[in-house]
Amino acid sequence: MCKKWVKPDSADAHHTTSATPALITRAEHGISRKQFSPNAIKVLYRLKDGGYDAYLVGGCIRDILMGIQPKDFDVVTNATPEEVKKLFRNCRLIGRRFRLAHIVFGREIIEVATMRGHHEADERKNATSQSSEHGQLLRDNVYGTIEEDAQRRDFSINALYYSINDFSIHDFARGVEAINARKIELIGDPETRYREDPVRMLRAVRFATKLDMEIAPGTKKPIYELADLLGNIPPARLFEETLKLFLNGKAVENYLQLREFGLFKQLFPALDDILEQSETGFEARFIEQMFANTDTRINQDKKVTPAFVYAALLWFPLQQRTQQIVEQQGMSEFDAFNQAMNQVLSQNAQHVSVPKRFTLGARDIWHIQMRLDKRSGQRAYRLSLQPRFKAAYDFLLLRVESGEDAQQALADWWTEYLKSDVTGQKELVKNLGQSDGKKPRRRYRRKPKKKTGDA
């Protein structure tokens, strides 16, 4: 890895970019084009042949320098999205806040962004910019030069540009130096950058855990004070960001940092309140254990459904709300549970909007928890055929694993039931009640009515 750095023309108290980037040659960085997606290379050359400048940018360059194989390859160009679309038949334009071009190659998508410019220059042709009263960017289609684009990047480690003209890396913000120092640092004034896009606070946490880096003090400090700005972000966008945080194999570390910074409270306020007020610590153990199990599965290339993660995150708010309804309205626990589900999901959607396909899965997991102890007759067999039964069974094991000892016997029974053949399963059902020290319920037949004949 190259440590060459050209000193910026000017410097201030904040981390800045340089008008004269550090130029890291092919011989110095050692990156081969074979490490890039062939489709990304195709996009670069077609843009070049069309008369435009084009670079691979950001995470893909950063990851290769760190010895990590990138999953995505992003391109930046001085062509507008409409000009990109004219060059590629397999192109679709997306986004309003950030106008982007997606070049589709089967399952792979190469994202092409137009170089961003400064907002003071929004009088340029085809440029639109709009900010909220909090300083958040609502529209950001201001186009500019590569130097301006580098200044608009969020973190120094992402302001790295790979050119196919001479196979060099253009390092505008001491990104290579930050990689070597293992520091996550914002470009520009941190408070201003967080106000422009509060999601950058979540990205700082995610990059720090993913890359095994530390958040630089100047980048870290404002997060504690500005965490509530996440309340201005659309809940649907926060769902996508929480997926990246919780399904990347670093969920436990991300969760703990989110809580430390006060960011978790903005995402799941009802659960955060319960965690703060818990006297036993069981709820915290449950959530940490769920994330630990999730990390294990992800790192073993096993599937994890978001429905399970969000069922766990909303389990305690659901139980709390159920109890409140029972006490306040005198409902049965079953009816209160169903009403509480609707309320908890509705309230949570104001912060993190979980798509219906996952909330339906969460509902199934919750419903089955209420039915797991009803095993007589054909009930256990029918319940085990439910599509979400395996997830619900894992949820029960998670409850026991976290310290809910009252469910141990139930979990053991189901574990034995699932391991048994049909004969063994029937025997387990037959012995229900005896294993609990209870007498089996006796069934009585009705006596047939006497037939009355004609007198």
Residue 157 and residue 219: Cα distance in Å, rounded?
13
Angle made by CA atoms 41, 46, 48, in degrees to the nearest 5: 95
| C-alpha dihedral, 129 to 131 to 137 to 139, nearest 10° | -30
For residue 402, the number of C-alpha atoms closer than 13 Å in the C-beta half-sphere is: 21
What are the boundaries of each domain within the chain?
Answer: 22-182, 270-430
| The one catalytic residue among 74, 171, 197, 272 | 74
Could you tell me if residue 285 is left (phi over 0), alpha (psi between -120 and 50 degrees) or otherwise beta? alpha
Query: Does the annotation mark 154 as catalytic?
Result: yes
The yes/no answer on whether domain 270-430 falls in CATH 1.10.3090.10 is: yes
Which pLDDT score is estimated for 16? 66
Q: Which of 74, 258, 61 is nearest to 178 (CA)?
A: 61
Active site (annotated) includes residue 405: no
Question: Please, where are the H alpha helices in 268-378?
Answer: 269-277, 282-299, 306-313, 315-329, 333-348, 356-371
Residues in the chain: 455
| Per-residue confidence (pLDDT) for residue 78, from 0 to 100 | 94
Question: CB–CB of 70/51 below 8 Å?
Answer: no
pLDDT of the residue at 3: 38
pLDDT the model gives residue 4: 38
d(CA 170, CA 115): 14
pLDDT means per 10 residues, the chain with 455 residues, are 38 57 87 91 96 94 92 94 94 86 95 82 46 50 86 92 92 93 95 95 96 96 96 95 96 97 97 92 96 96 95 97 93 93 96 96 96 94 95 97 95 96 94 60 58 52
| Dist CA 385 CA 419 (whole Å) | 15
The answer to whether residue 72 is catalytic is: yes
Q: Look at residue 278 in the predicted model and tell me its pLDDT.
A: 86
Helix (H) / strand (E) element for 246: namely helix 235-246
Looking at 63, 140, 154, 197, which residue is catalytic? Answer: 154
Give the end-to-end CA distance of the chain in Å, rounded to a whole number.
110
pLDDT at 391: 96
Return all residues near 283 (Cβ < 8 A) that are at least 6 apart.
271, 274, 275, 316
Q: How far apart are CA 341 and CA 333, in angstroms?
A: 12
Neighbour-count burial of 204, counting CB atoms closer than 10 A to its CB (0-12 exposed, 13-18 middle, 19+ buried): buried
3-state class (DSSP) for residue 455: coil
pLDDT in tens, 269-324: 999 999 999 878 999 999 999 999 999 999 999 999 999 999 999 999 999 999 99
pLDDT score for 137: 46
Pairing of β 214-215 and β 183-184 = parallel
Q: Can you name the CATH fold of 22-182?
A: Beta Polymerase; domain 2 (3.30.460)
Angle at 95 between CA 240 and CA 125, to 5 degrees: 145
Q: What is the pLDDT of residue 136?
A: 52
Contacts of 102 (CB under 8 A, 6+ apart): 91, 92, 93, 94, 109, 110, 111, 112
> Which amino acid, 193?
R
214: enclosing H helix or E strand: strand 214-215
Helix, coil or strand: residue 364: helix
Q: For position 377, what pLDDT does the model report?
A: 92
10-16: long-range pairs with CB below 8 Å, 24+: 14/186, 14/188, 14/189, 14/190, 14/218, 15/156, 15/173, 15/174, 15/185, 15/186, 15/187, 15/188, 15/216, 15/218, 16/151, 16/173, 16/187, 16/188
